[in-house]
A = this chain, B = another copy of it.
Amino acid sequence: MDLKAYLKEKRSIVDEALERVFPEPDGPAADVVRAMRYSLFAGGKRLRPILCIAGAEAVGGEGRAVLPVACALELIHTYSLIHDDLPVMDDDDLRRGKPTNHKVYGEAVALLAGDGLLTEAFRVMSRMDAYKDVKPQAVLRVISLVAEAAGYCGMVGGQTVDIQSEGQEVEPALVAFIHAHKTGALIAASVTAGSILGGADEDQVAAMSAYGENIGLAFQIADDILDVEGDREAMGKDVGGDAQKRKITYPGVLGLEKSREAQKGLVSQGIGFLKRFDHRADPLRYLATYIIERKR
């Protein structure tokens, strides 16, 4: 299959849906909406929404039917980037080649824009009129799953340990914990949520979740490697930032070679969990490889 064309098509479906979710800024609080839109439309890959759509389609569901959740996942991802870039966290000035949110809107509005995006994600997911042929019980299950992956048992927990471990000597098990939580959990939830809404049975849901956990961790290792040897232009930000900030990374803890091996092992394990699925899971198979071969 032509993954590039697939990604382009799905990305444009997601972008259109996100435009519908977010109104043009208006009224006294327009600035925070402007700030939310600024980061939301700053050129993200829409990986999580695409995984959600691909997860639904892999089990015979309709991709468009899961768009509210696909959009919500991108809102949550975007909020996490805004908060992560704040001076009290990673203190980054550039993201995807553009000034970070707080550099443009100030720290207070950036903080609130992140809060607003996270909150809006749950509003978008909970509006039943936005779905077609989806049971309310399935929507509630997905909201719970996404909240768990984004909260202290997932992303927020991973971010906490990440920040607290900077500059310290850590065991390989801890870097795996950080990466699986700060990045892996939401990626796994994306594909799992898509499969649930697409009508997967429980075995299929478990397989999707296992696939997602593996490629989610691989994705963050790839991020670490790109930070070591990526191209500044393609990345839209300075490389080498992790080492400068003494962040905990796979290359830092295990070295580049072992990180590449871990990454490849995770991707092939991830693809292995898709055995029970037919050709409709091909995008997920290709996405797994794309995740570690991307240039940004």
Give residues in A with beta carbon < 8 Å to B: 27-29, 31-33, 36, 79, 83, 86, 88-89, 107-109, 111-112, 114-116, 118-120, 122-123, 126-128, 136-137, 139-141, 143-144, 147-148, 150-152, 156-161, 163-164, 174, 177-178, 181
Contacts and interface: CB of A to CB of B under 8 A. Distances in A.
B116 A152 contact: yes
8 contacts: A28-B177, A109-B160, A109-B163, A116-B151, A123-B144, A123-B147, A123-B151, A128-B137
A128 B111 contact: no
Which of A36, A111, A119: most chain B Cβ within 10 A? A119
Contacts of A79: 115
Q: Which 3 A-B pairs have the closest CB atoms?
A: A29-B157, A123-B147, A119-B151
A31 B86 CA distance: 20
Copies of this chain in the oligomer: 2
Given A29-B181, A116-B152, A147-B122, A111 B127 contact: no
Contacts of A31: 160, 164
Contacts of A178: 28
A32 B156 contact: yes
A86 B115 contact: no
Contacts of A159: 112
B32 A152 contact: yes
Contacts of A128: 137, 140
A33 B154 CA distance: 12
Which of A108, A139, A163: most chain B Cβ within 10 A? A108
A288 B111 CA distance: 32
A295 B120 CA distance: 34
Given A108-B88, A143-B143, A29 B161 contact: yes
Contacts of A163: 108-109, 112
A161 B116 contact: no
A151 B122 CA distance: 10
A99 B174 CA distance: 31
A33 B88 CA distance: 19
Nearest to A154: B119
A114 B112 CA distance: 11
Contact of A111 (B86, B122, B140, B158): B86
Contacts of A156: 29, 32, 112, 115-116, 119
Which of A122, A163, A174: most chain B Cβ within 10 A? A122
A147 B161 contact: no
Contacts of A120: 147, 151-152
Contacts of A107: 88
Nearest to A29: B157
